[in-house]
Chains A and B, each alone.
Chain A
């Protein structure tokens, strides 16, 4: 079951094509990475999903339903460029945003109290937004995004401008929401965060979908059969007949196996020779590498 389905979505501004025939599915309950370099069309896509703009061509389905004007209440969106009304009191501000998301006054108050307790900021209600530090404001932003318990949460560069402590705090909250079944779209160009958090990704470049799938599958697809072995002892000379040596240090070696070769065979051979193996790892390509390779490949084609 998919929480979000995009079918051949297209969007053009004047002469510039921002989104060019993009299709992908976001499985329900997953953490989904929407990746792409700056200007790839991520924000344009998000604006279509959040009903801020409409696709010129193609369809978007939220939870099986064609996107309509009632859907914003089921989506929580934290834009990359985010702000608050500086002169408003924190409590009033959250009440306002929560009610705009369709919450009743009572329900909104309940939820705010819950989050204030959770973040241990119960005395913030009457503070003005401008009195808060940037990190504190980010917390308020986050609360505003999730206060209506959205089915789908869209976070655009959620950690930009956050210190490590707040980053962890928000990460934990994202985890918890994920545990509770919220589907999360995570838009970023910071690959290490994606690897850490996301299960599925789609890679967008120049308005086009160039890669999509489970993180594990993609990594497997792009692996080069590289293995790193940490060892003690003298390597046998016939190791070259098993695989190509890519890198060799005193107690570590990187081997590339031929397609179809069995890694167990090498391991067994080395053990037979009396070498002590400390570690035997397959080196999977980082998403960063795949990302750069794919983007460059596509850009070269044009």
Chain B
């Protein structure tokens, strides 16, 4: 086995066999699962608490109609409020809902009262408000003698259907933009995190070797460049392994959680909006549309490109981190200033990514997805929007070229840095090292 291979193997194996790696890799998805379980339990717990609610409807606006829901049981009563309040405990109600009659039919505000020794929970309040609102609406319609179907006709549902100019162009459905934004956001996010996590890992490892003084032993056997490259590739492989394991574990654990606990892993929060109940048919149609949209994405192009950008971005940034790590002394804090020039473009790219999701063809997005310091984060975010082929090709070519150049450049700094002790190094000095002779 050649030396580079040996180095990669060691860098990889010592990391993936470390207990902390195994724990982090396995526990992170479990932590996600646990989080969802806990959130789910919290939300389902509330609805376990059954309530009996008495309704006093003096104007009979609800016409004694109020469906029981989940653990809420409604009962219309004719008893006086005062008597009910006095004997609240004997009646065994949890709350009393008082609906005063509407005096002016044209009023837009109406207050109902809820008597209880406890605050109504958010979901109860939402449900009551929406039910009463609908009932009063019906009551008003009847009182005003309006035609129900005419009223319905007033509300026109508008949907915007994007159509291509050319006959041959792809027909995008109305949710294409949203789905692409989600895919892009997730990809950009993964890129951002991996560049930081594994780039920092490379930097720390280089620093350790230097402060350990193992590095001088190593470079009497191998070239500094081999050592650096081996480390970058080894750690990169560790990163791919971890991401791959997560990619498999997180969805499967999520799936298991859904089956075992029987609730949605993304609990739909009862939103306190005034909107009417969502038509279940609509929700189903929506899900089908999302699924179809996901399937219609050109994954065969997106995924390999994603991996390409992952590798390009990783090599580019981790080599810079390696160079900075080599220049650092024993003191992590002292060298922190050196990492700033590297972290700034990463963070900038992260923010540009959000712009790129909203306006994937804006000039900022186009420029940033070609500029190699930004492209590993910005371009993956644009991929789902189907950017022009020439932009992708150009961006990939520029990225690969720049990565190779940066690895080489960092190697030149690294070979000087790892042998330099007891000196506080400035960025300017790093620049000088590049031009040192061997």
Mark A residues whose CB is within 8 Å of B: 13-14, 47, 50-54, 56, 69, 72-73, 75, 77-79, 81-88, 96-97, 99-101, 141, 144
Contact = CB atoms under 8 A, between A and B. Distances in A.
A100 B215 CA distance: 13
Determine the interface band of chain B, counting residues with CB < 8 A from chain A.
Answer: 20 to 34
Contacts of A88: 14
Interface in B1-16: 1, 3, 6-7, 10, 14
Contacts of A82: 213-214, 216-217
14 contacts: A50-B220, A69-B223, A73-B221, A79-B216, A79-B220, A83-B215, A84-B217, A96-B6, A97-B217, A99-B1, A99-B6, A100-B221, A100-B222, A144-B217
B212 to A, nearest CB: 4
Give 10 nearest A-B pairs by CB, closest first: A83-B213, A83-B212, A77-B220, A79-B216, A100-B221, A81-B213, A83-B214, A54-B438, A50-B220, A52-B219
A51 B18 CA distance: 34
Nearest to B13: A92
Contacts of B419: 47, 52
Interface in B402-425: 419, 421
B18 A87 contact: yes
A187 to B, nearest CB: 13
Nearest to B18: A87
B148 interface: no
Contacts of A77: 217, 220
Contacts of A54: 437-438
A66 to B, nearest CB: 15
A14 B432 contact: yes
Contacts of A13: 436
Contact of B6 (A52, A79, A100): A100
Nearest to A84: B214
Given A56-B437, A96-B10, A84 B212 contact: yes
Contacts of B212: 83-86
Contacts of B221: 72-73, 97, 100-101
Contacts of B216: 52, 79, 81-82
Given A14-B432, A84-B212, A75 B220 contact: yes
B13 to A, nearest CB: 9
Contacts, number: 63
Most A CB within 10 A of own CB, among B7, B214, B421: B214
Contacts of B7: 100
A163 B176 CA distance: 73
Tell me if A's interface is mostly helix, strand, loop or mixed. loop
Contacts of B213: 79, 81-83
Contacts of B6: 96, 99-100
A129 to B, nearest CB: 10
B217 A83 contact: yes
Contacts of A14: 432
Interface string B287-308: 0000000000000000000000
Contacts of A144: 217
Contacts of A73: 221
B17 to A, nearest CB: 10
A77 B267 CA distance: 63
Given A54-B437, A77-B217, 20 more contacts: A47-B419, A50-B220, A51-B220, A53-B438, A56-B437, A69-B223, A73-B221, A78-B217, A79-B217, A82-B213, A82-B214, A83-B212, A83-B213, A83-B214, A87-B18, A88-B14, A96-B6, A96-B10, A100-B218, A144-B217
B1 A85 contact: no
Contacts of A96: 6, 10
B265 to A, nearest CB: 37
A72 B432 contact: no
Interface in B183-241: 212-223
Interface in B240-277: none
Nearest to B221: A100
Nearest to B15: A87
A100 B218 CA distance: 8
Nearest to B227: A100
Contacts of A52: 216, 219-220, 419
Contact of B14 (A51, A56, A79, A87): A87
Nearest to A156: B216
B3 A100 contact: yes
B18 to A, nearest CB: 7
Contacts of A83: 212-215, 217
Nearest to B213: A83
Contacts of A78: 217
A144 B216 CA distance: 13
A127 to B, nearest CB: 15
Nearest to B1: A99
Contacts of A51: 220
Interface string B163-181: 0000000000000000000
A81 B438 CA distance: 21
A47 B220 CA distance: 8
A79 B218 CA distance: 10
A250 to B, nearest CB: 53
Contacts of B219: 52
A103 to B, nearest CB: 11
A141 to B, nearest CB: 8
B209 to A, nearest CB: 8
B23 to A, nearest CB: 15
B428 to A, nearest CB: 13
Contact of A72 (B10, B14, B220, B438): B220
A79 B436 CA distance: 22
Nearest to A141: B217
Nearest to B211: A83
B230 to A, nearest CB: 10
A87 B14 CA distance: 8
Contacts of A53: 438
Nearest to A96: B10
Most B CB within 10 A of own CB, among A72, A82, A100: A100
Contacts of A86: 212
B421 to A, nearest CB: 8
Interface string B9-37: 01000100010000000000000000000
